[in-house]
Structure 1
Amino acid sequence: MTETNTTILDKATERMVRATPVPLVHRVRGLSDRAIAWLFIAPTILLLLAINIFPLIWAVRLSFTNYRANRPNAVVEGVGLTNYQRVLNDPDIWIAMQTTAHFVFWTILLQTLIGFSLAYLIDRKFKGHAFWTTVILIPMMLSPAVVGNFWRFLYQPQIGLFNYVVSYATGVPPSSFEMLGSVSLAPWSIIVVDTWMWTPYVMLICLAGLRSIPDYIYEAAEVDRASGWRQFWSITIPMALPFVMLAVLFRGIENFKMFDMVMLLTGGGPGSTTEVASITLKREAFESWRTGRASSFAIILFVAVFGLANIYVKALNRVKQR
């Protein structure tokens, strides 16, 4: 009788143990490293998909309609590829694309040349290089709104410091320089500001590339009596080139969608001299309220940037494999 009671008690205890939920810690310990990694990053991936993918799909849908955001209750009709045809045949949009290409080319060229030069000098580790590195990085740490207003003040014809410096160097009165109001100077004024702000970013990436070159390669070159110029072209440039190309990729994508700096400095003016693609897109969507057409323009820009970036990444991979 006693043994029977004991058996019944053991079975009841076993059932209670099975019914008791296993603590989360114990369950996590039983998972593989890959499963735990997915458990942590899954919420972030879902959030990014909700923020990025859904608006993209919605924009694609709107691009095939005549939808206007200022008429939400109007009947929405499908127009097929009409919006895309109108965007591609609009001369104003092509002018904006040319302005964007001009802006991207010169900013990337100047930022790459100046950024790599600064990185090469700082890599020499001269006395006080840490201090000067911090000073150079200050523009990159500022908000675009602060930078835009700061340079707008510097460009003032009457009290702007920039005009006085140029006047001192050329002997022309300061009021003669209308940097933001001149058709010929306004684009270059934006290029100067963007170069001043983002050259430190390019410098950091180039500096990482220079610091990644092993010292023994230079030591071997010195043993072979290679000159400093020969070492620069045969060692420094080839081994730092992938980092330089990476900096060009990042800045090219960012400059292609530049909006805030141009709006703060010129607003796209004078006339439409500095109206880049992003400002044209904003006018289509929120001034003309042609939401469907603006969506098609946004998709065209996305495909253009994505395609160019994909081609560039393939070239970058080939350079890295050499």
Structure 2
Amino acid sequence: MFQQSTRENILIFLLFSLFLFGFMFMEEIKNSAIPLEIPGSLIDLNTIFLSIVLEAFPFLLLGVFVSALIQSFVSEETIKRFTPKKGYIALVPATVMAALFPVCECAIIPVVRRLIKKGMPLHIGVVFLVAAPILNPVVFLSTFYAFRSDMTVVYARMGLGFILAIIIGGIVYTIFKNKDMLKTVENHTHAHSHQNGSEPSKWKLTMYHMSDEFFDTGKFLLFGALLASAFQAFVSREFIASIGTEAWSSSLIMMAFAYLVSLCSEADAFVAVSFQSTFSTASIVAFLVYGPMLDIKNTLMLLAYFKKKFVLTLMAVITVTVFIAILLFQLLFL
């Protein structure tokens, strides 16, 4: 497993280096003694890919660093002590509390599972799952930086994220109350060996967690940026325009895209902004709200930790509520 992970990281590094080399020496390659006819679409692919990645990386680093700090220095008992627990009344304060946790959608799932095992109500755990990856300060900063020329997207993402977290938590409470929906599986965590057998300091643990999470989430950023740039470089502008302006279809397409590319919420705004000129504002907001709540990688993690009935119900609730909310947003505000 370690060797496979190392090979993947090396391959990702080489891929990024290849794109960077092409960007820096494109003119020299074109004007070399053996001139190469480089298609314009490949040049566009390279330029869009690097612009997305280079803008997103600082926020990805900030996000994984703060997430690692919380994992090392904030105990689950502390979180549980300050978490509200009483039915529907707890939904709003739980959403506010979730906004203080700068962790992405995959990092929050193991934390929430442990908290539920220690007594956190199921619906409050769901609020943390769907709210924290959207509302946390790092995601707000990255979204603001990416869409500073169009603050409608920023306000819509934060506002809809807050409202939908409350609605989804309420629906889950209505359906499941406080039933046990956890699977009885062992919790697997990263293990780091130490020569003298002593426990590492919390700062060392922070660095370990940060490196693990950076490589785990960084490859999804690169994959998502590559798909987004390839889509814009190779698909005709006429086709993109035809599917990007229809309110309901473009929103569904962007929700599906968000699910498939599985981007980290700290960096997804930089992929979304690359579609700003071709897709509607509502569909971009759909991408930014739905992706952090539900994607391929967190679906697999949910299925590993929770019962299938609960996961399928949660997926349906998230998908339907987000889609309806986007249509209402389009109708009322755009």
Q: TM-score range by the shorter chain?
A: under 0.3
Larger gyration radius, structure 1 or structure 2: 1
TM-score if structure 1 supplies the norm length? 0.25
TM-score, normalisation: structure 2? 0.24
